[in-house]
């Protein structure tokens, strides 16, 4: 277990010092990035770091650093803006992706209200603005506080920043004594383009899209900076009210307009679903020509008495739905298809595209998934293709514009040999299903340099051995120079260096190694600034620490197919030492049935893992490389499963945002308590722990009758 995963109570003094240093560096980088309005992490993650730092300092007061993040002056308790609990939660919206979904929404509403089939439910329809929601609190007509949505329950006080927005009145007439107006802060497309051009001219980093840009601007520490950004605001909802605004959604929003707020001109009221769907079409047709980004149309039940009867489910109202537009598409030329070879030899085709802007983001790569996909699309180098970008996922190639195909374009011949090592690349047939794998794999195994380098990257990665200073680029470099070819080489690096092995003229030389350090202005980038000796010392120290990583991390780091984090942990818990797991692997490779039975009887481990282990150890060079590695390690044992825990043996799934722990921490803790952590909800799931923003998994759990709890309820359940 690395120190960043350990509970504070379990840290040794040495680990605590290391952890405080890591936290100071990480938070300084996050602060710098935040000030540049390019946040590196969510606020919840930042707060978690701050909290952890505080706890460690509480336990080891003597270790408190001179540059302790707790002492940063001028910072509110969170280090940034003051946190404010919303008087009424700020909700999110359920999504609809088709007309059918919208009809179902109406049916649900009617059923809930006990209305007949022929009863009408008037709805409002308005664009869903792609910005950030804000809550404006007016007391006796005066704007007293403005907050961000935050997690929906607690937001941040950004009053000064919001007051700089011209669309937001500082005083209003004819409003209830207490009135919270909610709406969207956004940036117009033209203003965004102009702003980016100015940033670029000054050599500063530009924003990817209007939303990021609005987010960065509204949460600027210096409200004077926010004032320079042409932000705007549409009012569309409300929070706490001392008296009702109206009887309908429509009238309430009209009142906002009379008070001096901007309301969206495309908002309409309709009596039938057919009418709102027609309005959706109209808005979608205008989407590109609107001066602000929108990503759908929001429908709301117009009658406010009905809204309050309908209420909310988890975090979203039953009385509203967001009808999303389909993902944005664009056409561009596919210049080349590259094949990337992963650590297990999987060959993934990637489309290299002529750069094109889709939904405000420049795209130059798209995934083509696999060989079947290329054949299905009949996509060729030189083709004009339609690409789609949905949310934050990797863009996809949707189709080929065959009319634009150049005469010379030839069907793409998916390589049957590995581009890195020349070994045969095959599509295996699954012995159980008899089906051909969609993935073509290089069979070069240990001789394939692409697999070798990817395996090493995996070995040093954060969830495996977590070796600081051996980043992806360094691994490629060391591998290329034959200084590290297998995991064991990492642990002999220092000795070889001291022996002068690398100082032979004309051969690779460790002295050219530069640890790349973050700078304040470029926290996310790395520049060579640290002296060689110091960086080398740091690297060697990090390698030293890694020698005693836990057994499960070492096992996971080996990159045996199907032995992921969870399986590695199960193996480590059951067999305790790495040597025993290796023995087991060899026995499996020799066809030892008793051992195999023993293994597949472990809850959570099946035939696939047994097959994969057998295959790995059947290759003697794998076993030998593992032996060489283990000679350098003294892995710590993983705690045994706490079988008396209330969640022992249960299958749990985490979804949404967790506020009190990171996802990794939550998983580690659940596993330590004997629970199985799965990523998808199924009939086998016992508990779904849903944080804010939970979506389809929550729905599925409800459909399947799976027990659902909040993070707090979960913590109470597992508290010792
Ligand atoms: S109503 C009771 N109306 O969408 C529901 N939200 O996915 C409160 N949004 O957090 C929201 N345009 O930031 C509503 N016309 C609109 C909207 C809108 C954009 C955002 C809002 C909300 C998110 C939910």
**Domains, the chain, ranges and CATH?**
3-72 (1.10.287.610), 95-324 (3.30.470.30), 328-443 (2.40.50.140), 446-546 (1.10.150.20), 551-630 (1.10.150.20), 651-717 (3.40.50.10190)
pLDDT of residue 74: 29
Any atom of ligand 1 within 6 Å of the Cβ of 237: yes
Q: Supply the mean pLDDT for the chain.
A: 86
Which of residues 720 and 455 earns the better pLDDT score?
A: 455
Question: What's the pLDDT tens digit per position in 91-122?
Answer: 999 999 899 999 999 999 999 999 988 899 99
pLDDT of residue 382: 96
pLDDT of residue 169: 97
Q: Rounded distance, CA 257 to CA 172, Å?
A: 11
What is the DSSP track for 32-79?
HHHHTT--SS-HHHHHHHHHHHHHHHHH-GGG--TT-GGG-TT--TTS
Probe target for ligand 1 pocket from 92, 131, 153, with the most ligand atoms within 8 Å of CB? 92
**For the packed helices 449-460 and 487-498, what is the interaxial angle rounded to 10 degrees?**
80
Banded pLDDT at 521 (limits 50, 70, 90): very low
pLDDT of residue 23: 86
Question: What's the pLDDT tens digit per position in 648-702?
Answer: 888 999 998 887 777 777 777 787 777 888 888 888 899 999 888 888 888 888 8
The answer, yes or no, to whether residue 526 has pLDDT greater than 50, is: no
Task: Ligand 1, residue 267: give the atom nearest the CA.
Answer: 15
Question: Which residues, in sequence order, are bridge partners of residue 385?
Answer: 332, 400
Is beta strand 707-709 parallel, antiparallel or unpaired with respect to 687-690? parallel
| Long-range pairs for 103-106: beta carbons < 8 A, 24 or more residues apart | 103/273, 105/299, 105/321, 106/273
Residues, the chain: 720
Any atom of ligand 1 within 6 Å of the Cβ of 692: no
Which of residues 392 and 567 earns the better pLDDT score?
A: 567
Average the pLDDT over 411-423 and give the result: 94
Closest residue to atom 1 of ligand 1, CA basis? 237
The DSSP letter of residue 384 is: E
Structure tokens at 156: 């941040």
Q: Rounded distance, CA 394 to CA 7, Å?
A: 35
Task: Ligand 1, residue 264: give the atom nearest the CA.
Answer: 15
Contact criterion met (CB below 8 Å) for 641 and 674: yes
| Element spanning 691, H or E | none
Contact criterion met (CB below 8 Å) for 241 and 178: yes
The answer, yes or no, to whether residue 39 has pLDDT greater than 90, is: no
Probe target for ligand 1 pocket from 95, 127, 181, 184, with the most ligand atoms within 8 Å of CB? 184
The answer, yes or no, to whether residue 643 has pLDDT greater than 70, is: no
The Cα-based distances of 674 to 168, 427, 550, 641, 648 in angstroms read: 53, 37, 17, 5, 4
Give the percent of the chain with pLDDT over 70: 89
Residue 74 region by backbone torsions, left for phi larger than 0, else alpha for psi between -120 and 50, else beta: left
Sign of the torsion angle spanned by Cα atoms 222, 224, 228, 231: positive
Which of residues 40 and 117 earns the better pLDDT score?
A: 117
pLDDT of residue 392: 53
The answer, yes or no, to whether residue 283 has pLDDT greater than 70, is: yes
The answer, yes or no, to whether residue 514 has pLDDT greater than 90, is: no
Average the pLDDT over 570-595 and give the result: 93
Structure tokens at 325: 């537009």
The answer, yes or no, to whether residue 519 has pLDDT greater than 50, is: no
Closest residue to atom 5 of ligand 1, CA basis? 91
Which of residues 593 and 502 earns the better pLDDT score?
A: 593
Residue 128 is a catalytic residue:
yes
Banded pLDDT at 509 (limits 50, 70, 90): very low
Any atom of ligand 1 within 6 Å of the Cβ of 92: yes
pLDDT of residue 472: 83
Closest residue to atom 9 of ligand 1, CA basis? 128
Closest residue to atom 21 of ligand 1, CA basis? 133
Which stretches of 376-431 are assigned E, i.e. beta strand?
Answer: 384-389, 396-400, 425-426
Ligand 1: centre distance to CA 159 (Å): 20
Q: Rounded distance, CA 703 to CA 138, Å?
A: 41
Banded pLDDT at 187 (limits 50, 70, 90): very high
Any atom of ligand 1 within 6 Å of the Cβ of 315: no
Closest residue to atom 6 of ligand 1, CA basis? 128
pLDDT of residue 532: 60
Task: Please report, to the nearest 10 degrees, the dihedral formed by the alpha carbons of residues 36, 37, 41, 45 taken in order.
Answer: 100
Ligand 1: centre distance to CA 226 (Å): 22
Ligand 1: centre distance to CA 164 (Å): 22
Give the percent of the chain with pLDDT over 90: 52
CB atoms within 10 A of CB 194: 12
Question: What's the pLDDT tens digit per position in 250-270?
Answer: 999 999 999 999 999 999 999
pLDDT of residue 706: 87
Ligand 1: centre distance to CA 389 (Å): 22
548 three-class SS: coil
The answer, yes or no, to whether residue 410 has pLDDT greater than 90, is: yes
Least confident of 178-187, 354-363, 436-445: 354-363
The DSSP letter of residue 436 is: B
Least confident of 63-67, 248-252, 277-281, 388-392: 388-392
With a CB cutoff of 8 Å and minimum separation 6, the contacts of 6 are 15
Ligand 1: centre distance to CA 128 (Å): 6
586 three-class SS: helix
From 54, 83, 128, 667, the catalytic residue: 128
pLDDT of residue 35: 52
Question: What's the pLDDT tens digit per position in 135-175?
Answer: 999 999 999 999 999 888 999 999 999 999 999 999 999 99
Q: Rounded distance, CA 542 to CA 536, Å?
A: 10
Any atom of ligand 1 within 6 Å of the Cβ of 130: no
Average the pLDDT over 395-412 and give the result: 94
Which of residues 102 and 519 earns the better pLDDT score?
A: 102
Least confident of 281-295, 399-413, 445-459, 673-687: 673-687
Any atom of ligand 1 within 6 Å of the Cβ of 133: yes
Ligand 1: centre distance to CA 93 (Å): 7
Probe target for ligand 1 pocket from 88, 93, 96, 233, with the most ligand atoms within 8 Å of CB? 93
Which of residues 669 and 23 earns the better pLDDT score?
A: 23
Q: Rounded distance, CA 597 to CA 581, Å?
A: 15
Q: Rounded distance, CA 185 to CA 231, Å?
A: 7
Q: Rounded distance, CA 453 to CA 480, Å?
A: 9
Average the pLDDT over 565-573 and give the result: 90
- Nearest 5°: the CA angle 708, 712, 715 is 95
The answer, yes or no, to whether residue 29 has pLDDT greater than 60, is: yes
pLDDT of residue 258: 97
Which of residues 77 and 415 earns the better pLDDT score?
A: 415
Structure tokens at 92: 């999110």
pLDDT of residue 3: 63
Q: Rounded distance, CA 222 to CA 157, Å?
A: 13
The answer, yes or no, to whether residue 527 has pLDDT greater than 50, is: no
The Cα-based distances of 613 to 486, 564, 626 in angstroms read: 19, 12, 13
The answer, yes or no, to whether residue 582 has pLDDT greater than 70, is: yes
Probe target for ligand 1 pocket from 97, 105, 133, 320, with the most ligand atoms within 8 Å of CB? 133
With a CB cutoff of 8 Å and minimum separation 6, the contacts of 527 are 516, 517, 519
Q: Rounded distance, CA 96 to CA 683, Å?
A: 25
pLDDT of residue 465: 95
Q: Rounded distance, CA 535 to CA 533, Å?
A: 5
């Amino acid at each position: 277990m690395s120190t960043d995963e350990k509970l504070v109570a379990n840290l040794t003094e040495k680990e605590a010092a290391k952890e405080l240093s890591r936290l100071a560096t990480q938070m300084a980088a996050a602060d710098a990035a935040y000030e540049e309005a390019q946040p590196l992490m969510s606020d919840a993650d930042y707060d978690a770091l701050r909290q952890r730092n505080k706890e460690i300092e509480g336990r080891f007061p003597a270790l408190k650093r001179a540059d302790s993040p707790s002492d940063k002056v001028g910072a509110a308790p969170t280090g940034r803006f003051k946190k404010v609990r919303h008087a009424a939660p700020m909700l999110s919206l359920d999504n609809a992706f088709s007309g059918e979904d919208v009809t179902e929404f109406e049916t649900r509403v009617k059923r809930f209200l006990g209305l007949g089939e022929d009863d009408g439910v008037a709805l409002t329809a308005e664009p869903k603005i792609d910005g950030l929601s804000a809550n404006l609190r007016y007391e006796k007509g005066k704007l007293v506080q403005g907050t961000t949505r935050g997690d929906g329950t607690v937001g941040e006080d950004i009053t000064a920043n919001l007051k700089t927005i011209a669309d937001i009145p500082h005083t209003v007439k004819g409003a209830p004594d207490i009135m919270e107006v909610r709406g969207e802060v956004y940036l117009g497309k033209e203003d965004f383009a102009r702003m980016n051009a100015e940033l670029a001219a000054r050599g500063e980093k530009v924003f990817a899209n209007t939303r990021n840009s609005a987010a960065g601007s509204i949460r600027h520490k210096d409200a004077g900076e926010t004032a320079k950004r042409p932000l705007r605001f549409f009012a569309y909802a409300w929070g706490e009210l001392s008296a009702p605004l109206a009887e309908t959604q429509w009238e309430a929003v009209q009142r906002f307009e009379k008070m001096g707020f901007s309301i969206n001109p495309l908002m309409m009221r309709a009596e039938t679903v057919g009418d709102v769907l027609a309005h959706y079409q109209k808005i979608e047709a205008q989407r590109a020509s609107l001066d602000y980004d929108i990503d759908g149309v929001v429908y709301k039940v117009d009658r406010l008495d009905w809204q309050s009867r309908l209420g909310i489910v988890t975090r979203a109202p039953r009385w509203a739905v967001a009808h999303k537009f389909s993902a944005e598409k664009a056409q561009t030329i596919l210049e080349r298809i590259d094949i990337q070879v992963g650590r297990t030899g999987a060959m993934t085709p990637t489309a290299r595209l002529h750069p094109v802007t889709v939904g405000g983001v420049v795209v130059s790569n798209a995934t083509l998934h696999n060989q079947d996909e290329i054949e299905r699309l009949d996509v060729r180098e030189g083709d004009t293709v339609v690409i789609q970008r949905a949310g934050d996922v990797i863009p996809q190639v949707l189709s080929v514009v065959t009319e634009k195909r150049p005469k010379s374009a030839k069907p793409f011949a998916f390589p049957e040999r590995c581009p890195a090592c020349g070994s045969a690349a095959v599509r295996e047939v699954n012995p159980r299903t008899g089906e051909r794998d969609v993935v073509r794999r290089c069979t070069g195994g240990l001789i394939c340099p692409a697999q070798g380098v990817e395996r090493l990257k995996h070995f040093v990665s954060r969830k495996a051995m977590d070796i600081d200073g051996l980043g992806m680029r360094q691994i490629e470099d060391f591998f290329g120079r034959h200084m590290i070819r297998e995991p064991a080489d990492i642990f002999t690096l220092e000795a070889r260096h001291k022996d002068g092995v690398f100082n032979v003229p004309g051969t690779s030389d460790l002295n050219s190694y530069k640890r790349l350090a973050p700078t304040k202005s470029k926290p996310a980038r790395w520049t060579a600034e640290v002296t060689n000796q110091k960086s080398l010392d740091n690297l060697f120290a990090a390698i030293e620490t890694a020698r005693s990583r836990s057994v499960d991390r070492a096992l996971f780091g080996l990159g045996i197919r199907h032995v992921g984090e969870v399986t590695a942990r199960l193996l480590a818990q059951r067999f305790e030492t790495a040597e025993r797991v290796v023995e087991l692997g060899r026995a499996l490779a020799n066809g030892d049935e008793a051992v195999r039975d023993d293994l597949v009887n472990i809850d959570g481990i099946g035939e696939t893992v047994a097959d994969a282990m057998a295959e790995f150890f059947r290759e003697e060079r794998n076993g030998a490389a593992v032996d060489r590695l283990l000679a350098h390690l003294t892995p710590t044992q993983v705690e045994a499963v706490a079988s008396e825990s209330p969640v022992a043996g249960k299958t749990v799934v985490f979804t949404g945002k967790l506020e009190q722990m990171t996802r990794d921490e939550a998983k580690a803790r659940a596993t330590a308590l004997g629970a199985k952590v799965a990523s998808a909800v199924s009939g086998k799931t016992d508990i779904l722990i849903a944080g804010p923003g939970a979506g389809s998994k929550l729905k599925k759990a409800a459909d399947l009758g799976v027990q659902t709890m909040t993070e707090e309820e979960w913590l109470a359940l597992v508290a010792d």
